[in-house]
Every structure is written in C-alpha cells, then in structure tokens.
Amino acid sequence: MPSLFHRVVTACRPLRIPLFRRHVTARVLSWTGTAVSPVALAFAVLHIGGGPGSLGLVLAAEMGSLLLMLLIGGAVADQVSRTRVLAWANAGAGAGQGVAALLVASGRAEVWHLVGLAVVGGVTGAFSGPAASGVVREVVPVDELQQANALLRLAQNSVKAGGPALGGVLVGVVGPAWAIGWDAVTYLIAAVLYARLRLPAERVRIGPPGMLGGIAEGWREFVARRWLWLMVGQSALVVPCWLISYQTYGPVYGQQHLGGAPGWGLVMSGFTCGLIAGASVALVLRPRRVGWLVCAGTAAMAAPMAAMATGGGLAVVVAGAAVAGCGQTLGSTVWTSFVQRQVPEHLYGRVSSISTLAQLAPVPLTALLAGAVAGHTGVRPGLAVCAVVTVTAAGTPLCLRRIRALTLPTVDTKTLVRR
C-alpha cells in the first residue's frame, strides 16, 4: 500500500502541467479579492446610509443576473476559447469593482450604483464559472481530474478561511473602498494571466450554430443522462436548505444561543476547516462508488441544522459545521470530476450551466418563504425542516439502482454513462 507521502505526491501531479498551474494561479488571485469583497461591500452599503434591505437588494441583483445569464454563459464557454471568455469576464468584473471603489472613495456612491455594479458581477460570474470548469476538463488528463479539482478546492477554501478576516481588517484600517479596490486589482491581474494563456489546440466545434441551438443541444444532453438530472434535483432541494440554514437561520440562532457574533464566527470557522479537510481527503482518496459517496456527503450537510434544531450548544454546532464542510467539499469534488469524465468536452459548459441554474433557481423564493416562516415560528422549527429535507433528499436517490451503480471507471476512462 502506498504511503501517505506517495499519495500526496501523486495527487499533485496535475501541477506539472504548465497550463493548469497558470489556471490555478489566476483563480487563486481572483479568489483572494473575492474573499474580502463581501465584507467590504456590506460596510460600503452601510457607509452610504443603506440598511439590511439595501444590502439584500445588492445581493439579489447579483444573484438574479447570474441566474439569467448562466445558460448563455455556458453556451459561450463551449463555442469560444474558454481562456478568452475568462479573460474578458475577469476584466469586466475588475472594471465593475474598480468603479465601485472609486464611487465609494469619492463619497458619491448611492445604493443604485452598487446595485448596477452587482449586476455586472453576476453577469461576469455567469460566464466565468462554466468556462473555468471547462478549462480543467480541457487541459488535465481524464484520470487526474479529481486531483485537479481537489487542488482547486483546497486553494479556494484556504483563501476563504482567511478572506473574511482580512476583509474586516482592511475595512477597519483603510476603509471599504480600498478593500473593493483590491478585489478589482486581483480580477484585472487574473484577466491578464488568462489573456496570455493559450490552450494547446483549438477545440472542434460540434453541434448546431447559434445561441439558442447550442442551449437546446446542451439541454438534450442534460436530460439524456437520467443519473445527472436526478442528482441535480437532489441539489435543488438541498442547496436552498443549506443557504437558509447557514445564512438566515444560523446567524439568528447564533445571536440567541451561541453568544452572538463571536460564537457564530466560530461556527463559520468550523465549516471552513471542514471545507479544507474535505478537499484534502479528495486529493488523496480515489473512491469508486460515486453515488454512495456523494449522497453521504450531502447527508452530512444536515449535521449543523440538526444540532441547532435540537438546541445544541456551541461545541456541538461547530462540530456539525465541520462535518458539513468536509462532506460538502468531498462529495462535490468527486461529483464534478465524475461529470467531467462523462459529459463530452464540447458540451460541458452548457451542461454545467444548466445544472447550476437548476440548483440555484429555487433559492430566491425559498429565502423569502424562510424569512416569513421564521417570523411566525422561530428559527428552530425551520432548521428542523431543513435537516429533514436534506437527509431525505440525500438518501432518496440511493433507492435507485442506477445511482447506486455510479462508479469511476478504472480502465476505460472514456466510457460515457448515457442513462
């Protein structure tokens, strides 16, 4: 049996590929700015006299524009050079954040300015997401996709661990404008790196011409893989429950039962540690039973919900958050790598964008309903419902043989699972 050191060295093999190293460098730079941006944005809105409603409007504008443009972003990622898409998307995001920084610094910013610039951020995110995942599929050998995705998740989660704290320090020391400006700079540097990154060969364009024809072809590919839309349906139930619990109910529970912001900060730290641990495990673990592992990782996300629903103390909730982070990252890394293997490369951007849209589409409505319900019943009943839905959604696909049978191939890595 190979030693742990040998496993780690083997797992880092994707880094020997120059194109992947440059992709990782550009992504980490971009994430470094993005990690501090939410704190800076929140305080920028408060600085200009906005309140929770104004901040919610800014966040809704970004999410709404992302959802509206995802299908187009996925189609473009399959029909144009993905590095070119990433260069322009990062340049657009950098320009938007730069304008926001200048407006805040000059004292001329208004809420509607930040709403408009949030739309720019959502649109650029709709293009960069499918393109970035497609680059990995394009430059990394198929049998190293899980390691490549795990390395990216490990880097992203490590940056995420210190990003909010760094953002808080920057806002406190130099003000929100400089923190937003840092986000702009990292986007622009990433854009330059992607503009200089050339893929080895131009991809063959296969399929109908035109945007609508391309999206329709991606949809046909998505629905043809029953295992895919079944698992995406699972995520469409779990993702809203997680976001409601972690972003809406959780902070309220923390305020009431965990000692306020410091206690909830420890819960967030526990979750981040779990994210890093899950990415580390995915780096060295090569599971074959994909369906079982992904469903188990999804079920783990119910741990902090159940802990809070049953009145758990700080240590229990922190431990549950760590379990959730580990399960979430491990499951999503393995799943992304599996889908990248099974979906043809020239269709991957469209299939990826359709999957993401299906998972995120229920979020706005469920967030509104969750707020209304919590006002009448309190947060603990809502947390209990979210935990039950998450565990049920996690386990239900395993009732189907086709999900239990999903495995990573060991010899013929080009075999495609059609149904």
Residue ranges covered by each domain of the chain = 17-141+151-203, 225-419
Residue predicted with more confidence, 174 or 91: 91
Tokens of 155: 């880097």
pLDDT digits (tens, 9 = 90+) for 326-351: 999 999 999 988 988 888 888 888 88
Question: Mean pLDDT over residues 361-383, rounded?
Answer: 76
| Long-range pairs, 49-54, Cβ under 8 A, ≥24 | 50/111, 54/111
Find the range with the poorest average confidence among 110-119, 174-183, 195-204, 389-398.
195-204
Q: Does residue 217 contact residue 347 with C-beta atoms inside 8 Å?
A: yes
Q: What is the mean pLDDT of residues 93-115?
A: 84
Top-confidence residue, 379 or 184: 184
Domains 17-141+151-203 and 225-419 share a fold: yes
pLDDT of 92 strictly over 50: yes
Whether 53 has a pLDDT exceeding 80, the answer reads no
Report how far residue 133's alpha carbon sits from residue 138's, in angstroms, rounded to the nearest whole number: 9
Question: How large a percentage of the chain has pLDDT more than 90?
Answer: 20
Nearest to 403 by CA among 417, 416, 391: 417
pLDDT at 396: 93
**Can you tell me the mean pLDDT for 231-246?**
88
Q: Which residue has the higher pLDDT, 233 or 173?
A: 233
Query: What is the sign of the dihedral through the CA atoms of 334, 337, 339 and 341?
Result: negative
SS3 79: helix
The pLDDT tens digits for 165-218 are 666 666 666 777 888 888 889 999 999 999 888 776 655 455 555 677 778 888
Sign of the four-CA dihedral 240, 243, 249, 250: positive
Q: In this structure, are residues 194 and 88 in contact, taking their beta carbons and an 8 Å threshold?
A: no
158 or 324, higher pLDDT: 324
The helix (H) or strand (E) run that includes residue 44 is helix 18-47
Q: Which of 29-33, 43-47, 99-103, 338-342 has the lowest mean pLDDT?
A: 43-47
According to CATH, the superfamily of the domain at 17-141+151-203 is MFS general substrate transporter like domains (1.20.1250.20)
pLDDT at 413: 40
pLDDT at residue number 305:
93
Q: Of 407, 393, 415, 396, give the one whose Cα is nearest residue 334.
A: 407
pLDDT average, residue stretch 142-161: 84
Please compute the mean of the pLDDT values over residues 370-385 and round it to a whole number: 77
Alpha-helical runs (H) found in 347-408: 348-360, 363-377, 379-395, 401-404
Going by the DSSP 8-state scheme, the letter that residue 397 receives in this structure is G
294: exposed, middle or buried (Cβ count in 10 Å: 0-12, 13-18, 19+): buried
3-state secondary structure 9-27: HHHCHHHHCHHHHHHHHHH
CA-based end-to-end distance of the chain: 35
Q: Find the DSSP H helices in 196-225.
A: 211-224
Q: What is residue 414's predicted lDDT score, i.e. its pLDDT?
A: 44
Q: Which of 195-204, 279-288, 357-366 has the lowest mean pLDDT?
A: 195-204
394 contacts 295 by C-beta, under 8 angstroms: yes
Q: Which residue has the higher pLDDT, 41 or 156?
A: 156
Question: 289 pairs with which residues across the strands?
Answer: 407
pLDDT confidence band for 46 (50 / 70 / 90): low
Residues 24, 28, 34, 36, Cα dihedral to 10°: 170
CA distance 277 to 94: 31
Q: What is the rounded radius of gyration, in angstroms, for the C-alpha atoms of the chain? A: 21
Strand pairing partners for 407? 289
The mean pLDDT value for 141-165 works out to 81
Find the mean pLDDT for residues 210-233.
85
pLDDT for 76: 87
Q: Bin 6: left if φ > 0, else alpha if -120 < ψ < 50, else beta.
A: alpha
Q: For residues 148 and 14, is the Cβ–Cβ distance under 8 A? A: yes
Widest distance between CA atoms in the chain:
63
Higher pLDDT, 255 or 309: 309
**225-419: CATH superfamily:** MFS general substrate transporter like domains (1.20.1250.20)
35 or 279: which carries more pLDDT confidence? 279
Residue (of 197, 146, 183, 182) closest to 18 by Cα position: 197
